[in-house]
Amino acid sequence: MTAPEPLLAAVDLRKSYGPVTALGGASFSVAPGEIVAVMGPSGSGKSSLLHCLAGIVVPDSGSLTYRGEELTGLSDARRRALRRTDFGFVFQFGQLVPELTCLENVALPLRLDGTRRKDAEAAAREWLERLEVTDVSRKRPGEISGGQGQRVAVARALVTSPRVVFADEPTGALDSLNGERVMQLLTDAARFTDAAVVLVTHETRVAAYSDREVVVRDGVVRDMAAAR
């Protein structure tokens, strides 16, 4: 059986911050609908790899392609547009806008891309229901629990139907029970939309939700499937 073409692929990415080498020739790929866990100790380059893959940081050298398009030479405006439409993000602490209701937070990516409020909020309600948090839609982030907030963050990441979801330690601030539920909902929702997921974590129980694991050490990626 022929392996699917990568949706997002990096080859020999290198990135330094002054004298510190964050990535020393990292290669990585994720296929459509695939969930890949990126593991490694603190300071290994996991977050630097994610930031380069997502177009947040431009690597010093190497190739990065998304759907066959080279990303490293794109303008800041084009990379921002990709992050609004094709990429979704879930962070460790949710990073919800405290002044907005949960419904408004989920609708925000659509509103920023020009969707009418009525349509954006209708889509947001659907995702809040899918993530089992419709009861917090009118509350603000400071009025809900951490587990609820992270489900709202997942809904916000998926509301634009992204092709790739970047999840950076999405359960790091949660207890084990809430963490398990968030991961179950995140992976189920991603599979429902056929979104690829790049999951940065240091927890084996979180990585267990992935299809494949890679380890970053000293800025270099090792595919654990290939190592077996």
Q: Could you read off the pLDDT of 85-138 as tens digits, one per residue? A: 899 999 887 789 999 999 999 999 999 999 999 999 999 999 999 999 999 999
Are 199 and 38 in contact, with CB atoms under 8 Å apart? yes
Nearest CA-CA partner of 173 in 150, 190, 157:
150
Are 54 and 82 in contact, with CB atoms under 8 Å apart? no
Are 132 and 156 in contact, with CB atoms under 8 Å apart? no
**Orientation angle between helical segments 117-130 and 146-158, nearest 10 degrees:** 130
User: Tokens in use for 177?
Assistant: 């029970």
Whether this model's pTM surpasses 0.75: yes
The amino acid occupying position 14 is R
Give CA–CA dist 79/98, Å, rounded.
26
**Given this model, what pLDDT does residue 1 score?**
47
Judging by DSSP bridges, how do beta strands 35-39 and 196-200 pair with one another?
parallel
The 10s digit of each residue's pLDDT in 76-91 is 999 988 988 899 999 8
Mean pLDDT of 205-227: 86
**Given this model, what pLDDT does residue 227 score?**
46
